[in-house]
Structure 1
């Protein structure tokens, strides 16, 4: 083969590479245009956004605040009065009484309190 033949083959490979890249770019651009068009059609079918008058408003008394209180655990019976074992659906929610002491437990200075830290934590 002559040198001219190699040059033609190399040029044809470059042309094919550029053409394939161009067609791939067109394919990706077309897919993006289709996706945007499809998204706009879906958005048009959705219900309208609520007006400002339809938005929720604060209650007349203002915002509702969180209430923190210490609760006392209830004694959990092991069996019914007839001696039958209690099932989970027979139990009432525990911690239903407000505790007498409403001070929160705090970590003591110099104590770790973390899991595996070696300290006893709070008292």
Structure 2
């Protein structure tokens, strides 16, 4: 008697059961991820109500102020300076520049290296 077809059917059945178990595992992981996401979302603060939203100031929107700044000079020294050797521990303030004209790059240059300019 030829039992080859029974062996093939048994192998296909095991493959089908394996795929079914893998599919159930993936669905269980997806459901678990959804449940964890819902729990995390419940712990987050609620979104602000419309009356809690930021409001515009009474005198209108605040506009940008453009000004040129002049850097402070770095002190000259024979030794190498580190940040804590500088005045203000490296946080040297700048001051407003009397010139209102913006500094520009030289004509024909882009201001960066390797830009392929003339």
Question: Which interval holds the TM-score relative to the shorter structure?
Answer: 0.7 to 0.9
**For this pair of structures, how many residues does the alignment match?**
111
Does the CA-based 8 Å contact 1:113-1:119 persist in structure 2? no
Query: Which structure has the higher relative contact order (CA within 8 Å, separation 6+)?
Result: 2
In the alignment, structure 2 segments of 5+ residues that lack a partner are: 78-83
TM-score, scaled relative to structure 1: 0.70
| Structure-2 separation of matches of 1:41 and 1:19 | 33
Does the CA-based 8 Å contact 2:71-2:93 persist in structure 1? yes
TM-score, scaled relative to structure 2: 0.72
In the alignment, which residue of structure 1 is the partner of 2:54? 56
In the alignment, structure 1 segments of 5+ residues that lack a partner are: 80-85
What value does the CA root-mean-square deviation take over the aligned residues?
Answer: 2.8
In the alignment, which residue of structure 2 is the partner of 1:94? 93
Give 1:99-114 correspondences, 5 Å limit.
Answer: 99-114=97-112
Larger Rg: 1
Question: What do the CA deviations read for 1:79-117 (whole angstroms, capped 9, x no partner)?
Answer: 7xxxxxx7236456232x211211112234433543145
| Structure-1 separation of matches of 2:104 and 2:42 | 56
